[in-house]
Structure 1
Amino acid sequence: MHIYAFGSICRGEVDLFSDIDLLAIVNGRNHSFNPKNYSIYTYARINELWEQGNPFAWHLFLESRLIYSSDSSDYLRNLREPNIYNSGLSDCKKFHEIFLSAKNSIEKSNLTEIFDLSSIFLAIRNFATCYTLHFNVKPDFSRNSARNLGVHSIPIDDYIYELLERARILCTRGLGEFLSNYEIGKAKQELNKIEFWMKEKISILTK
């Protein structure tokens, strides 16, 4: 058994809204860990992710720290570097589709607006992470990945980005103030701009 911390705590970017991401690597089914507190993977699945060059494998390789080892080994370090990530285009298209689905939902109904904005933030963040991995630049797995792309950063101001992030934290952790109708309206006004940004980045990936 191996237990790792990963994410913001390993990047030194912990703030009031950060949680502690924990990974448990186990043999087969193991009920010792609460899935609410741990990402639980078998050794076989971790090996598959490394073979695929999966973004999560790169996340763990670059941003994880061993907490406990049942055999005194560092399992992830011993796997060495994951294979090259080569699914940037397909992954970015996938997160673009998630964005479009949430955008379509929020434009049709006001019943799930905060959830839809949360999904939009998830799509934006993961889209940007896959974009950085595709071009083999410094991968960015942080909540601010879409704002850290230099000239390719998402073209919305910090206020809107933080509204989307608030919606995500509300939905995943139940923390923070609910967005007002005014704030939701301001975020919705930027959706076409976000869609154009994603399409532009996908066009770059296809070249």
Structure 2
Amino acid sequence: MHIYAFGSICRGDISLGSDVDLLAIVEGHDYRIDPDTFSIYSYKRIQELWHEGNPFAWHLSLESRLLFSSDKLDYLKALGSPEPYKNCVQDCEKFFALFCEACDSLIANSTSKVFDLSTVFLSIRNIATCFSLGTKDNERSDFSRNSALCLGCNSIPIALDSYQILERSRLLCTRGHGKNITDDEIDTAIRTLNEVHEWMNNLVKKAKEYE
């Protein structure tokens, strides 16, 4: 068994609302590992992610710290660097489509608008991470919650207060943490969606050009 921490606590940018991301790599079922606390992977699946050059493999490779090792070895470090990331365009298109679905739900006057805004934020963060990983040197890729703000000239072009409304929506839906989103804040976030759509579309185009 190997236990790792990863994410914000390893980057050093942990803040109010951050949680501690924990990974357990195990062989078969282990009753000691709570699936509500740990991301649980088999050794075979981790090896597959490394071979695929999966973004999560790169995340772990760059931003994880060993907490426990049953054999006293650092399993992830021994794997070396993952294979190059090859699915940037495909993944960017996937998260762009997820964004469009959430927008359609919002426009249809969904009764779960905060959840839809949470999905918008998820798609923004993930498309930015995939774009960063696919078009930069992997060592400079950004896996943080604010990855969309860290793309230089390709950063998301919306006001910070609008971005933070989307981020708070995500935290509320995934962790139950933070102030409730008001109707006015929902309207503010919805007014940014056209800008976000154009930004995402441009990221997909640039990813294709890079490829």
Pairwise TM-score range, normalised by the shorter structure? over 0.9
Query: Match of 2:111?
Result: 111
State the Cα deviation string for residues 46-89 of structure 1 (Å, max 9, x = none).
00000000000000000000000000000000000000001000
- Alignment partners' CA distance in 2, 1:30 and 1:55: 26
Query: Match of 2:152?
Result: 150
Q: Does 1:32 align with 2:32?
A: yes
Q: Which amino acid in structure 1 is aligned with residue 183 of structure 2?
A: N
**Unaligned residue ranges in structure 2 (runs of 5+):** none
Query: Match of 2:54?
Result: 54
Query: Match of 1:204?
Result: 206
Q: Does 1:5 align with 2:8?
A: no
Q: Secondary structure at the match of 1:206?
A: helix
Aligned length: 207
Moved more, 29-38 or 78-87: 29-38
Matches within 5 A, 1:90-169: 90-137=90-137, 138-169=140-171
Query: Match of 1:73?
Result: 73
- Alignment partners' CA distance in 2, 1:165 and 1:50: 29
- Alignment partners' CA distance in 1, 2:51 and 2:28: 19
TM-score by length of 2: 0.97
Q: Which amino acid in structure 1 is aligned with residue 41 of structure 2?
A: Y
Q: Which amino acid in structure 1 is aligned with residue 68 of structure 2?
A: Y
CA drift of 1:135 comes to: 1.1
Q: Which amino acid in structure 2 is aligned with residue 144 of structure 1?
A: N
**Unaligned residue ranges in structure 1 (runs of 5+):** none
Matches within 5 A, 1:172-191: 172-191=174-193
Q: Secondary structure at the match of 2:24?
A: strand
Q: Percent identity?
A: 51
Q: Secondary structure at the match of 2:158?
A: coil
Q: Which amino acid in structure 2 is aligned with residue 155 of structure 1?
A: P
CA drift of 1:30 comes to: 2.3
CA drift of 1:11 comes to: 0.3
- Alignment partners' CA distance in 1, 2:164 and 2:36: 25
State the Cα deviation string for residues 117-158 of structure 1 (Å, max 9, x = none).
000000000000000111133110000000001110000011
Please provide the CA RMSD for this pair. Answer: 0.7
- Alignment partners' CA distance in 2, 1:26 and 1:136: 32
TM-score by length of 1: 0.98
CA drift of 1:181 comes to: 0.3
- Alignment partners' CA distance in 1, 2:103 and 2:34: 33
Structure 1 stretches of 4+ moved >3 Å: none
- Alignment partners' CA distance in 2, 1:109 and 1:31: 44
- Alignment partners' CA distance in 2, 1:98 and 1:193: 16
- Alignment partners' CA distance in 2, 1:42 and 1:30: 11
Q: Which amino acid in structure 1 is aligned with residue 201 of structure 2?
A: K
Q: Which amino acid in structure 2 is aligned with residue 181 of structure 1?
A: D
- Alignment partners' CA distance in 2, 1:133 and 1:31: 35
